[in-house]
Structure 1
Amino acid sequence: MDPLSLLRKAGLSAQGPALPLHGGDMARVFRVGPYAVKLAPNPPRGLFQAEAQGLWALEERGVRVPRVYWVGEEGLVLEYLEPGPEDWEGLARMLAALHRRREAAYRAEPGFLGTFPLPGREGGEWTTFFYERCVLPLLKATWDRLQGLGPKVEALFQDPLPAEGPAPLHGDLWHGNVYFSREGPALLDPSFFVGERGVDLAMMRLFGGFPKAFWEAYRALYPVPEEVERALPRYQVYYLLAHVHFFGEGYLGALWRVISAS
């Protein structure tokens, strides 16, 4: 389906052409007037509904996100946010406030990392929750491509991960999912769940893109204990398994490095 057809299905109209925007690796995004229209080729069932639920969850917790106008199996219609200046200190304030929140328990609705489906889960001890909900499905999907690293991944989660308390997470917080709008920093394309903030911090460190100004402001607002710092490579395993799944064995070197650092 093309973006103009999706807008018509949503009962929305806009003047002007559909202009391609950056949409990551899994989707195509177009600006059509005041809307950002997101589509994906052969999306798995529930993909866009899960993204919309994540955006609503973040918005309820004080995070700036694009408004959701319409969601269906075919795609998503969002508010187009006009670009603005970089504000890393503002992003630090927003994320520190999000990560400081405490929820009743670890919790995840059925969702996705990229287009990879992840199960729902609620409650329990953190290490078991994270391993069984996030790591194990990807480990099973990639086992035959890991060249013997599978047992090493399993062994990483025999010891408990540090637990500061259940916090709401973006869940896929690489720099491409941060957007600086005229109104201030915003987050895009979440893989929302309630877990430990180290998961977000680990992804932010994995591929870089967050400058010193951000980290200084974030740490001043919400210092990161040494035990959380030491756990970040174990959380990065989750994201690198996803990259092996989507993009192939070229990521095995990076996977080996974080295993070795754990």
Structure 2
Amino acid sequence: MNNKIKHGLVTIGDASDIQSIQLVTGGDINQAFRVQTKDNVYFVKGNHNVSENFFAIEAQGLKLIDETNSIGVPHVYYYDQPKNDDDAIMIMEWVEGQKKKDTNAKLGTQLGHMHLTTNDQYGFNENTFIGTLPQPNDLFDNWIDYYRDQRLLTQYNIAIDKGRMSSIRRDKMEKLLQNLDNLLDRQPKSSLLHGDLWGGNWLTGSEGAPYLIDPSVFYGDHAFELAFTELFGGFSLDFYEAYNSVFPLPSYYEEIKPIYQLYYLLVHLNMFGESYGNAVDQILNRYVKG
């Protein structure tokens, strides 16, 4: 695929190799296409004005997940590392299949095994992205400092810059940040996490096998990942039962779940606006009285 042709943002292969290019809908961040060539089918996504490591970081995350030998991910054939805000593409294996009766349970079981891959620190050694928003990273010796300083504070500051932190919301957010030591475990097991696991970021492949896509990996509390799966749906009771049979959630999970969901609601507030403000406020009001 060195001799490239362009189709919108997508650049792929030699014109004589391509039999069809079909737009794939459903994503908010990238343009996506199903590309049929003489020999194979590819999933191709493109974007513009992205940083040099935008797709490289995603490919690294998929590689780390694949190396756990726990759950499927699409093979990455190629990605651009654009200079000067050029257009960029990523070319991956096309994953397609029909769910089977045990697909959701397999997803839970295999994700649980993935989360059993652990690290002795929290965070990640590369900056990543959540959607198109920057996600600064470093490695920390305790979970609370990482979650407060690298996750919640980052989105809090973005919200201030975007004018999405009213004085009341800002005051409650600051009080919650100051009180995290009394709410969260400082040293939970540090699991390899997908980092952006909503219902649209897993697919069914051949034989009903689950595949994870679009990761934003880091090492952290596995309850953080599960809290996000509950925020927007897309996961079944079979999934949760199978997951807990491999890596049970802590007894206090329900008490901390909204604190973990707050991060993703702040992300959505910053990306999509005040329609997510009420959900943010409900969580802040739960943990900060008055």
TM-score (norm 2): 0.83
* Counterpart residue type for residue 21 of structure 2: A
Contact 2:43/2:92, CA 8 A, preserved across alignment: yes
State the AA in 1 paired with 2:271: F
What is the 5 A alignment of 1:115-134? 115-134=132-151
Whether 1:159 and 2:173 are equivalent positions in the alignment is no
Q: CA deviation at 1:13?
A: 7.6
Describe the shift of the 1:125–1:36 C-alpha distance in structure 2 as closer, same or farther (beyond 3 A): same
CA distance in 1 between partners of 2:233 and 2:170 (Å) = 26
Instruction: Tell me which amino acid in the other structure corresponds to 1:259.
Output: L
Structure 2 unmatched runs, 5+? 1-5, 83-87
1:168 aligns with 2:192: yes
The answer to whether structure 1 residue 101 and structure 2 residue 110 are counterparts is no
Write the distance in 2 (CA, Å) between the matches of 1:258 and 1:216.
26
Indicate the residue corresponding to 2:44 in structure 1.
37
1:149 maps to: 169
For residue 107 of structure 2, the aligned residue among 91, 97, 112 is: 91
Give yes or no for the alignment of 1:77 onto 2:80: no
Contact 1:81 1:181 in 2 (8 A): yes
Work out whether residues 69 and 77 of structure 1, in 8 Å CA contact, stay in contact via their aligned partners in 2: yes
Map 1:111-260 → 2, pairs under 5 A: 111-143=128-160, 144-147=163-166, 148-157=168-177, 158-160=179-181, 161-162=184-185, 163-183=187-207, 184-260=209-285
8 Å Cα contact 2:119/2:191 also seen in 1: yes
Larger gyration radius, structure 1 or structure 2: 2
Aligned partners of 2:9, 2:268: CA distance in 1, in Å? 32
| C-alpha RMSD of matched pairs (Å) | 2.0
Structure 1 counterpart of 2:213, which letter? L
Distance 1:17 1:166, change over 3 A: same
Structure 1 stretch displaced more, 12-21 or 239-248: 12-21
CA contact (8 A) 1:21 1:31 kept: yes
Q: What amino acid is aligned across from residue 212 of structure 1 in structure 2?
A: L
The 1:102–1:52 alpha-carbon spacing in structure 2 relative to 1, beyond 3 Å, is same
Contact 1:4–1:18 (CA<8 Å) still a contact in 2?
no
Matching residue's letter, 2:66: E
SS in 2 for 1:145: coil
Amino acid aligned to 1:233: P
- Residues 12 and 202 (structure 1 numbering): CA distance in 2 closer, same or farther, change over 3 Å? farther
Match of 1:104, as an amino acid? D
Deviates more, 1:34-43 or 1:146-155: 146-155
Matches of 1:75 and 1:4 in 2, distance apart? 8
- Which 4+ stretches in 1 moved above 4 angstroms? 11-14
Give the C-alpha shift of residue 174 in structure 1: 0.3
TM-aligned CA distance change 1:5 to 1:165, over 3 Å: closer
Equivalent-residue separation in structure 2 for 1:97 and 1:255 (angstroms) = 31
In the aligned structure 1, how far is the partner of 2:66 from the partner of 2:15?
23
Query: In structure 2, do the counterparts of structure 1 residues 14 and 210 end up closer, same or farther at CA, with 3 Å as the change threshold?
Result: farther
Counterpart residue type for residue 180 of structure 2? D
Provide the rounded CA distance (Å) in 2 between the counterparts of 1:13 and 1:236.
48
The whole-number CA distance in structure 1 between the counterparts of 2:240 and 2:32 is 30
The AA in structure 2 aligned to 1:106 is: Y
CA distance in structure 2 between the partners assigned to 1:68 and 1:27 by the alignment: 16
1:53 is matched with which residue?
60
> Deviation at 1:235?
1.0
The 3 A distance-change label for structure 1 pair 5 and 242 is: closer
Q: TM-score, normalised by structure 1?
A: 0.92
Q: Is the Cα contact below 8 Å between 1:47 and 1:112 reproduced in 2?
A: yes
For the 8 Å contact 1:14–1:32, the answer to whether it is kept is no
